[in-house]
Chain A
Amino acid sequence: MGISRREFLKYTAASSAFMAMGVPFAMAAGQNKQVDHWVKGVCRFCGTGCGVMVGVKNKKVVTVKGDPNNHNAGFLCLKGALMVPIIYAKERITQPLIRKNGKLTPASWDEAMELVVAKFKDAIAKYGVKSVGYYGSGQALTEETYLASKIFKAGLKCNNVEGNPRLCMASAVGGYVTTFGKDEPCGSYDDIDAATCLFIIGSNTSECHPILFKRIAARKQADPNVKIIVVDPRRTNTARIADMHVPFKPGTDLAILNGMAHVIVQEELDDYRFHSKYVTFMDNNKQKKTFEDYVKFLEDYTPEKVEQLSGVPADTTRKMAKIFAESSATMSLWCMGINQRIRGVWANNLISNLHLLTGHIGKPGATPFSLTGQPNACGGVRDTGGLCHMLPAGRLIKKKAHRNEMEKLWGLPQDSLNPKPGLHTIAMWSALAEGKLKALLVLCTNPAQSLPNLDKYRQGMARKDNFIALIETFSDAETVKYADVVLPPAYWCEREGVFGCSERRYALVGKAIDPPGQCKPTVNILVDFALRMGVDPKLVPYKNSADIWKEWRAVSRPTPYNFWGITRERLRRESGIRWPCPTEDHPGTRIRYVRGEDPNIPKDYKKKYFFYGKPDGRAVIWFRPYKGAAEEPDQTYPFVLTTGRVIDHWHTGTMTMKVPELRRSFPKAYVEVSTEDAKKMGIHNGDNVLLETRRDKMVFQARVSDVCRPGLVFVPWFDAHLLINKLTKDAIDKGSKQPEFKICATKVSKA
């Protein structure tokens, strides 16, 4: 070997330097090669409405990342981070399908649309416009819902326009409208960063709105003195960061909230100066009352009595009330636990009562804030009036002045709109089951899995004498089984449009890629439907969603909703703007009903607050008595069954089940049983457990844990193979018509 030690070292050093160079080179190259360009959008899942950047390479979506300029500051939850495979799922429907001899077979657009229109025209000719309807979704674009609602209400003079937000948001709408006179929260997500007490009731924020939970946790971390109270019969992951977790007997929330108000007035923790100036007291019969009457009304709800009803110790109620009232800024957050109740509107009122009583409103960090479940329930359906009793921007069908205003804006003859509100969701699906509704257009939702008491409504869908046209992305959605025609829409980032999230923030979902096969944007499908139905072409002069957005801005302009300043150009530039926003240079509104913040209040208005939704400018504290659930547990059905989400899946799982990681994280539904109950019944983890309600029965695998309180069982509702909604009850709130998904009585036994 004629090589010196020195030479050897030299060669080795050279080659290892070469090697070392290779590593960062590979990584830097990876970064450059990864993506051609980024398109700004909004996440497709929950109502948090996180900004998403969609990475496109060779005309394909390859990755996503959080939008640093939107409220989520670049963060995504696990569903958001893993959403790419959904776009390329093999279950995508890429051509129109028509049911022939019981089987869905491919057809041309022309053939499919002609069939839909023939069936709708036939139904209208034979049974009148009340025999047809539209069932939409809080996942459709704002433009899509506005257009569908306009086609049916203005074009066909049919008010049977509903949507799944009736199943999730209706009680919150009812609550805000009765208390403040106008729908939608007065605060925003910014309040989380300023709150010193977060009162979370009926919401598993951690799993249902993970990025908001992140913000709450960050607040707690920045200042450990911030108090977090979680009121929930289940000890969920949300309770992990809580100072107090208060479990209670499901259905007794009204008593607890009144009990807190009792403590607040008895211990004089109320803000008399605030409520004497800005609040009207009103009893259940809409009669004006005084503060003294309210104190008297609350005498029925002593913490001791609340303890008997709800199982919450009297001292706990006192402590909660004190923390709520004495904190410098309290923010309440609630979701389906409050809304999906037969007294959902009342429960919403009672939360707002606490804020009005203590003056925790209209200040940074102090607000009653309702969370939405879908990416565009607030935006698309509540604001544009996509429900059977509403017209765009908070107008009501039953009010003549509102109808006339819309007739003028839509260029219709005066008094030509149908003055009778249509069928609400449960009435609509009942009408279908009873054979009264003959033709239905369903958009972007999966009612065959999401309605309560499913057996009844699925029988209706299966009837041979009705017609269901479904605009749906995935062939394995339950509702496809019942559709007579399926029309393939462009999915999420395959067309442009606007989503509006829980905090009144509207943001643009940009178009990143072309839709596959024959899929087309829903806006174009709806315009095509309208023209074929013989609707005046002047009513639907739209080429794309941008045209509709322009009209929507004008329609909202004369109202406190005011979207005039939110132009398409601004939406392309900025990552979301909160309405009201009257001019192009207006930054959007953080806090409503406060002078200097809310552009609807004149700058020289004489007082700080102005609740302009009410004729006297005062918000209302309602006297809402305690009322239990529609179906309380008894000797035969001794357990309470509640349903909800897991973080890995969203809604009916048609999207999240397409992501291998998410599917295999929670492949199927299970029943969560408390350790105590499991011990009594000899149930172990993984055992089969039979749940039986008055409607149906089903077997689930048990997960024994201390999440549920004794007497309660929980089943998630994402699983299409174990449809828990066959067991849930379809009792509805008499005001909001929202069903009580959250509570029904059940038997539990080892199978």
Chain B
Amino acid sequence: MSSNADAATGKKMTKWLIIILLCLGAAAVMGYIYLQQAFPAVECTAAKHLESPDEAADCYACHLKATPKVAQDWYESKHGVMLVKCFVCHGQPDGKGSVPFAVDPDVNTTCRKCHDPSVNRMVEKYGLQPACNQCHPYHQNSLHHAAYVKPKAKKSID
């Protein structure tokens, strides 16, 4: 009888242990996500092998070779024509500048500098979205050809 009770208690304990472990796991994942949000990745891989750290913010020169598609997308985008350069939104490869390095720039600290009225309008319409670029691809908003092609944004309006 006592062994039965022991078995039952043991079973109960295992159950609680799993719950606690799961909670801890969830907390760890949350913590990780929070850290990701609060302290975005500190550097771009270029930081490790920059030929001239003095010119670290001339991202385009290097990315034209390293990631030609992204570089070309930027060049042909509105940001490219207006010369809103990489570092304005993404910071510098070594993260040592005044803008923290981020692959996905933060809406509040970055986009709002210029697009505050639009962000407010979007929040009013669709609620708070994690990132602008889910609907508006930053680099593919060309001035010349198919301007303002934003497939997802168009769909959601309908």
**Given A2-B11, A23-B33, also A65-B97 (CB < 8 A):** no
Q: Answer whether residue B107 sits at the interface, using C-beta atoms and an 8 A cutoff.
A: yes
Does A1 lie at the interface of the complex (its beta carbon under 8 Å from any beta carbon of B)? Answer: yes
Determine the distance from Cα of A76 to Cα of B112 in the docked complex, in whole angstroms: 10
Contact among B18, B25, B92, B113 with A661 in the assembled complex (CB-CB below 8 Å): B92
Q: Does A30 contact B (CB under 8 A)?
A: yes
Closest to B18 in A: A3
Inter-subunit contact B26/A667 (CB<8 Å): no
> Are A78 and B83 interface neighbours, CB within 8 A?
yes
Question: Quick check: A16 and B26 within 8 Å, CB to CB?
Answer: yes
Contact residues in B for A207 (Cβ distance below 8 Å): 83
Give per-residue flags for A243-274: 1 if the beta carbon is below 8 A from chain B beta carbons, else 0: 00000000000000000000000000000000
What residue of chain A has the Cβ atom nearest to residue B129's Cβ? A24
CB pair A210 B25 closer than 8 Å: no
In the complex, the 9 A-B pairs of residues with the closest C-beta atoms, listed nearest first = A15-B26, A664-B57, A665-B57, A660-B97, A2-B11, A661-B87, A85-B98, A68-B117, A667-B54
Pick the contact of B130 from A16, A23, A214 — CB < 8 Å? A23
- Among A18, A27, A237, A659, the most chain B Cβ lie within 10 Å of the Cβ of A27
B64 at the A/B interface (Cβ < 8 Å)? Answer: no
Cα of A420 to Cα of B26 in the assembled complex, Å = 82
| Partner pick for A27 among B85, B98, B130, CB 8 A cutoff | B130
> Contact mask B15-47 → A, CB, 8 Å, 1/0?
100110011011001100110011000000000
In the bound complex, residues from chain A placing their C-beta under 8 Å from that of B22 are 11-12, 15
30 example contacts (A-B, Cβ-Cβ < 8 A) are as follows: A2-B15, A11-B19, A11-B22, A19-B26, A22-B33, A27-B106, A27-B128, A30-B106, A30-B109, A64-B113, A65-B113, A65-B116, A74-B117, A75-B114, A77-B82, A77-B84, A78-B83, A78-B87, A206-B83, A210-B83, A214-B82, A217-B143, A237-B83, A241-B81, A241-B143, A659-B98, A661-B92, A661-B98, A663-B57, A665-B55
In the complex, the answer to whether A65 meets B112 with C-beta atoms within 8 Å is yes
Most chain B CB within 10 A, of A3, A78, A207, A662, is at: A78
Partner of B91, one of A23, A65, A213, A661: A661
In the bound complex, residues from chain B placing their C-beta under 8 Å from that of A138 are: none
Within 8 A of B (CB), among A492-534: none
- B81, A84: Cβ atoms under 8 Å? no
In this assembly, does B153 line the interface, its C-beta being within 8 Å of a C-beta of chain A?
no
- Number of B residues with CB within 8 Å of any CB on chain A: 50
Q: How far is the CA of A176 from the CA of B55 in the complex (A)?
A: 42
Given known A18-B26, A22-B33, A664-B56, contact A66–B88 (CB-CB < 8 A): no
A217 in contact with B81 (CB, 8 Å): yes
CB-CB < 8 A to B56: which residues of A? 664
Q: Given the complex, which residues of B lie within 8 Å of A63, measured CB to CB?
A: 109, 113
Q: Are B113 and A76 in contact (CB under 8 A)?
A: yes
Known: A15-B26, A28-B128, A82-B98. A664 touches B58 (CB 8 A): yes
B33 and A19 form a contact (CB under 8 A): yes
Which residue of chain A has the shortest Cβ distance to B34 in the bound complex? Answer: A26
Q: How far is the CA of A74 from the CA of B115 in the complex (A)?
A: 7
Using known A-B contacts A15-B22, A65-B116, determine if residue A34 contacts B87 with beta carbons closer than 8 Å: no
Chain A positions 614-658 with a Cβ under 8 Å from a chain B Cβ: 647-648
User: Are A240 and B30 in touch, CB under 8 angstroms?
Assistant: no
Size category of the binding interface on chain A:
35 or more
- Secondary structure at the B interface, as helix, strand, loop or mixed, is helix
Q: How far is the CB of B88 from chain A (nearest CB, A)?
A: 5
Q: Which residues of B contact A12 (CB under 8 A)?
A: 22
CB distance from A237 to the nearest CB of B (A): 6
Interchain CB contact under 8 A, B88 and A82: yes
Q: Which residues of B contact A2 (CB under 8 A)?
A: 11, 14-15
Smallest CB-CB separation from A68: which chain B residue?
Answer: B117
Pairwise interchain contact A24-B128, C-beta atoms closer than 8 A: yes
CA distance A22 to B27 in the complex (A): 10
Q: Which residue of A lies closest to B108 (CB)?
A: A31
Given known pairs A30-B108, A661-B57, the reply for A73 and B117 (CB within 8 Å) is yes
Docked pose: A27 CA to B26 CA in angstroms: 19
CB distance from B91 to the nearest CB of A (A): 7
Q: Are B113 and A81 in contact (CB under 8 A)?
A: yes
CA distance A451 to B116 in the complex (A): 40
Binding site for B on A (CB under 8 A): 1-3, 7-8, 11-12, 15-16, 18-19, 22-24, 26-28, 30-31, 34, 63-66, 68, 73-78, 81-82, 84-85, 206-207, 210, 213-214, 217, 220-221, 237, 240-241, 647-648, 659-667
Query: Would you call A81 and B82 a contact (CB within 8 A)?
Result: no
Residues of chain B lying within 8 A (CB to CB) of residue A665: 55, 57-58, 85, 87
- B residues in contact with A30, CB < 8 Å: 37, 106, 108-109
Question: A420: shortest Cβ distance to chain B, in Å?
Answer: 47
Q: Given A241-B81, A660-B96, A664-B57, list of 5 further CB < 8 A pairs?
A: A3-B14, A73-B117, A661-B57, A662-B57, A664-B92
Return B64 CB to nearest CB of chain A, in Å.
Answer: 13
What is the CA–CA distance of A73 and B53 in the complex, to the nearest angstrom?
Answer: 36
**Which of B15, B96, B147 touches A3 (beta carbons < 8 Å)?**
B15
Given the contacts A15-B22, A27-B128, A221 and B147 also touching, CB distance less than 8 Å: yes
A208 to chain B, nearest CB (A): 11
Contacts of B115 in A (CB 8 A): 74
Q: Across the interface, which residues of B come within 8 angstroms of A217, CB to CB?
A: 78, 81-82, 143
**CB-CB nearest in chain A for B26:** A15
Residue of A nearest to B21 (CB): A11
With A3-B15, A11-B22, A240-B81 known to touch, is A664 a contact of B33 (CB < 8 Å)?
no
Distance to closest chain B CB from A105 (angstroms): 32
Min C-beta distance of B141 to chain A, whole Å: 11
Counting chain A CB atoms within 10 Å of each CB, which of B22, B82, B115 scores highest?
B82
Min CB–CB distance A518 → chain B (angstroms):
26
Q: Provide the residues of chain A in CB contact with B38, threshold 8 Å.
A: 26
Which residue of B is nearest A660, CB measured? B97
What residues of B have a CB within 8 angstroms of the CB of A19 in the complex?
Answer: 26, 29-30, 33
Q: Are B54 and A664 touching (Cβ within 8 A)? A: yes
Complex alpha-carbon distance, A338 and B82, angstroms:
23
Cα A74 to Cα B113 with chains together (Å): 8
Complex Cα distance, B143 from A221, in Å, reads: 7
Task: Indicate if the CB atoms of B108 and A1 lie closer than 8 Å.
Answer: no
Q: List CB contacts (< 8 Å) of B47-73 with chain A.
A: 53-58
**Bound Cα distance A273, B81 (Å):** 41
Could you tell me if B114 and A1 are in contact, using CB atoms closer than 8 angstroms? no
Task: Give the CA-CA distance A428 to B1 in the complex, in Å.
Answer: 109
A65-B116, A74-B114, A241-B81 as given contacts; A664 in contact with B143, CB under 8 Å: no
A16 to chain B, nearest CB (A): 7
Select from chain B the residue with minimum beta-carbon distance to A22.
B30
A664 touches B97 (CB 8 A): yes
Q: Which residues of A contact B117 (CB under 8 A)?
A: 68, 73-74
Q: How far is the CA of A476 from the CA of B140 in the complex (A)?
A: 41
Q: Given the complex, which residues of B lie within 8 Å of A75, measured CB to CB?
A: 114
Chain A proximity of B5: nearest CB distance (Å): 15
Q: Which residue of B lies closest to A75 (CB)?
A: B114
